[in-house]
Structure 1
Amino acid sequence: MSYLPLDQYQRKWIFTHQSMPVPEEDLEAIKPMDQIRSAQLWKDNISAQSPDSERLSAGDWPMKATNWTESVDWMTAWESDDQELPEAVLQHVDWQDDVTVYFCYEKYNIIETKWSTFKKYWKNFLFYDDGPILIGRRRAEALWFGDNGQVKLGQRD
């Protein structure tokens, strides 16, 4: 298949960290893509030229201000004991739990999972907050998490 075993994923520790370990039975739903599949998904859905969100070009859909409706704080919720994503995020992304989502750290580092898994363990995914973009399979809504503690809520073209 085109996934890496979680044991071979360089950032596996974000899901097994002692402060927030993901239970073994839920780890199976967290599927890091291999570099070839990641690169293709990134090229088709994020940017054909740029390797990460810091170097997106003006022509890439995430760089178009009109694609983003608002920006909300995610860091306060991440640092709290509350496990829920911020309410504005949940309202914006009103997907069924079984929707396949892609958490795109950069061109060669994308994780596929289900919306239910992401919602439950979003804090683990955001141990690395260097501009990851969350998209859903065949869904227009998108989230762009910034290292400034804000998440942009928007739509892909």
Structure 2
Amino acid sequence: MSHSYIPFDLYKRKWIFNHKDLPVSDDDKALIKPLTDKSAMEVWDKWISNKSSRAELFEKGDWPIKQDAWAATEHWQSAWDSNDNAMPEAIIAHIQWPDDAVVYFCYEKYQIVETRWDVFVRNWKCFLFFDDGPILISPKHKQALMFLQNGQYKLGVRG
């Protein structure tokens, strides 16, 4: 599946990667690729849900609402608030993807950013300026992460 992208400078949420307190290197910015609406829709329909357009609308049959999809619930807010840039340990333990693994950070059906695992790890705090149920997946791997507004995240395996 080949995708089309929104030029970074035209991305309406680009400010999250230009925040003065959480600088993103130019090299990493070059690897943060917002998908066009059409490409985002294709990714969402294929790997997240072909019925619901965002997390709060998931319904029966959508894998993210299956109880057995998620093995553990942990807290991300305190790590996000700290001066340490490291991701929570449980995420690193759960996801052992190669640095160059393609990942999709899926905010909702028409709002998805493609990047690489190592870029996400370095800049995870920026991605979470929007925390209304985004899901991180990698097409070649089964593990998944879902971030919740209450400061928790779920570790799981997608269906």
Answer yes or no: same fold by TM over 0.5.
yes
Aligned length: 157
From 31, 35, 38, the equivalent of 1:36 is 38
1:89-128 matches, within 5 Å, as 89-128=91-130
- What CA distance in whole angstroms lies between the structure 1 residues aligned with 2:78 and 2:127? 16
Q: Which residue of 2 aligns with 1:55?
A: 57
Q: CA deviation at 1:18?
A: 1.5
- What CA distance in whole angstroms lies between the structure 1 residues aligned with 2:66 and 2:49? 12
- What CA distance in whole angstroms lies between the structure 1 residues aligned with 2:9 and 2:23? 14
- One-letter code of the match for 1:147? Q
Report the aligned-residue RMSD: 0.8
Runs of 4+ residues over 3 Å off in structure 1: none
Unaligned runs of 5+ in 1: none
Q: What secondary structure, in the 3-state scheme, does the structure 2 residue paired with 1:72 have?
A: strand
- What CA distance in whole angstroms lies between the structure 2 residues aligned with 1:120 and 1:20? 10
Unaligned runs of 5+ in 2: none
- One-letter code of the match for 1:58? K
State the percentage of identical aligned residues.
Answer: 48
Task: Say whether 1:87 aligns with 2:83.
Answer: no
- What CA distance in whole angstroms lies between the structure 2 residues aligned with 1:24 and 1:86? 24
Q: CA deviation at 1:16?
A: 0.3
Task: Say whether 1:11 aligns with 2:16.
Answer: no
- TM-score of the superposed pair, with normalisation by structure 2: 0.97
Q: Which residue of 1 aligns with 2:26?
A: 24
